[in-house]
């Protein structure tokens, strides 16, 4: 093997690690709460607290449901100067490197993508080269804005200032901000892991309390689902939250009632919503030989499944098992296209651990949901993608730039003629 090829393979392994080789966040391996009650009002207030919310609790600031600013804010922007070349069919989607933890991806809607960066929160409209800097900029102690979640014209995030933790909601169009919740962190375990947002509520997960919410109209704050939750991702639909852990758990945002989605006892992993929140996709291990797969280590096979969130209809999308099981990782869906990462043709198709599935799944795979055509992009370090989102015939995802050891959010044009695809027709279940 040539020295150049050896170095490329070594760099590829480094890139995969940067895109999420590390272990999952701690918590219940089934992705569920480890204790507490659902739907309980937060200390210090009653339901329907009006504009003041739960009055009397120092952690719950007064709430004004009206957004007063109407004029678009002229955000500072970052151009494309000095960005690395991410290869054929690829462009940098955010014009600054990202600083998300390896187990969280970017945030996205049908209009925008965004991420945490050294410049603070940075957004970009799909297909445009300009990146908007919402801030606040990182300081010597590290980033101050974390866990962003886009929904329509708004973004939720966690703002850190020394030991103070603020749950914020902001209009990215006007720049108007609202403080939903604030507290002084008592220790390293007293932290917030995720935020999410829909048109009715802002949500956040506080490890020492549970899944919490604030009603964007009444201002009420409550513990939606108590206990520590292990969610790799949160999808906020217009009816509630979906927590993706070892199971996909839907939490009604009004009642806190919980429902495990299409669960038959086998492992469910890496669930993500489409940009329009109408579809949900995940890796499921119900099909032999996958049923003995575990959350933390052992894996065998795994198939891509999806749910129509409006009808709750479920479809199995891939059919490698039981005859030719093939590992799959980090799926995404949008409209009539599903994508995921998998081992490239010619490599071991079925690595047997969480770590080797993640490091070995270096090829981007696509499935046309109308025809059943399944394609794989020839493996190349350029296209090692982490968490993804699908926007038409474009896939946005994490890309590790080996020379600088920095991760960028990139946009892959699947129809670019320079891309080398291997395609086949597969069993198809409409």
**Residue ranges of the chain with pLDDT lower than 70?**
1-56, 102-103, 140-143, 380-384, 428-430
Which residue in 154, 152, 110 sits closest to 276, CA to CA? 110
CATH fold of 3-425, please? Methylamine Dehydrogenase; Chain H (2.130.10)
Tokens representing 371 are 């025809």
The pLDDT, as a whole number, for residue 383 is 59
Contact 242, 271 (CB under 8 A): yes
The pLDDT, as a whole number, for residue 229 is 87
Domain boundaries, the chain: 3-425
CA dist., res. 226 & res. 34, Å (int): 8
pLDDT digits (tens, 9 = 90+) for 142-162: 668 889 999 999 999 999 888
Contact 341, 377 (CB under 8 A): no
Contact 372, 427 (CB under 8 A): yes
The pLDDT, as a whole number, for residue 311 is 95
The pLDDT, as a whole number, for residue 430 is 62
CA dist., res. 203 & res. 222, Å (int): 10
Which residue in 380, 278, 285, 395 sits closest to 332, CA to CA? 395
Residue 200 CA, chain-centre distance (Å), reads 20
Which residue in 99, 155, 93 sits closest to 124, CA to CA? 93
């Amino acid at each position: 093997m040539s020295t150049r090829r050896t170095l490329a393979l070594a760099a590829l392994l480094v890139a995969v690690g940067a895109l999420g080789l590390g272990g999952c966040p701690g918590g219940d391996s089934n992705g569920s709460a480890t204790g507490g009650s659902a739907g309980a009002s937060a200390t210090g207030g009653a339901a329907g607290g009006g504009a003041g919310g739960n009055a009397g609790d120092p952690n719950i600031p007064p709430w004004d449901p009206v957004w007063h600013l109407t004029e678009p804010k002229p955000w500072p922007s970052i151009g494309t100067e000095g960005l690395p070349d991410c290869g054929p069919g690829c462009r940098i989607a955010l014009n600054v490197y990202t600083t998300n933890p390896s187990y969280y991806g970017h945030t996205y809607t049908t209009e925008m993508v965004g991420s945490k960066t050294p410049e603070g929160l940075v957004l970009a409209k799909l297909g445009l080269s300009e990146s908007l800097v919402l801030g606040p900029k990182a300081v010597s102690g590290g980033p101050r804005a974390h866990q962003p979640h886009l929904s329509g014209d708004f973004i939720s995030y966690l703002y850190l200032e020394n030991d103070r933790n603020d749950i914020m909601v902001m209009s990215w169009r006007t720049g108007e901000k609202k403080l939903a919740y604030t507290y002084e962190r008592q220790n390293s375990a007293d932290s917030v892991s995720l935020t999410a947002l829909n048109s009715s509520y802002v949500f956040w997960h506080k490890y020492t309390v549970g899944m919490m919410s604030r009603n964007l109209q009444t201002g009420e704050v409550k513990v939606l689902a108590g206990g520590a939750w292990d969610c790799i991702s949160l999808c906020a639909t217009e009816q509630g939250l979906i927590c993706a852990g070892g199971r996909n758990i839907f939490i009604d945002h009004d009642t806190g009632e919980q429902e495990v989605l299409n669960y038959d006892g086998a492992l469910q992993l890496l669930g993500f919503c489409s940009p329009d929140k109408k579809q949900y996709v995940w890796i499921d291990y119900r099909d032999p030989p996958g049923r003995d797969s575990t959350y933390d280590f052992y894996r065998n096979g795994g198939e891509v499944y999806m749910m129509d969130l409006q009808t709750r209809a479920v479809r199995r999308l891939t059919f490698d098992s039981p005859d030719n099981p093939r590992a799959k990782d980090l799926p995404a869906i949008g409209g009539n296209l599903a994508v995921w990462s998998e081992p490239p043709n010619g490599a071991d198709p079925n690595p047997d651990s969480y770590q080797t599935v993640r490091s070995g799944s270096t090829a981007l795979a696509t499935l046309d949901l109308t025809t059943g055509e399944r394609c794989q992009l020839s493996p190349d370090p350029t296209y090692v993608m982490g968490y993804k989102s699908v926007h038409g015939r474009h896939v946005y995802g994490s890309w590790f730039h080996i020379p600088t050891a920095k991760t960028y959010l990139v946009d892959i044009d699947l129809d670019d003629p320079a891309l080398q695809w291997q395609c086949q027709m597969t069993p198809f279940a409409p």
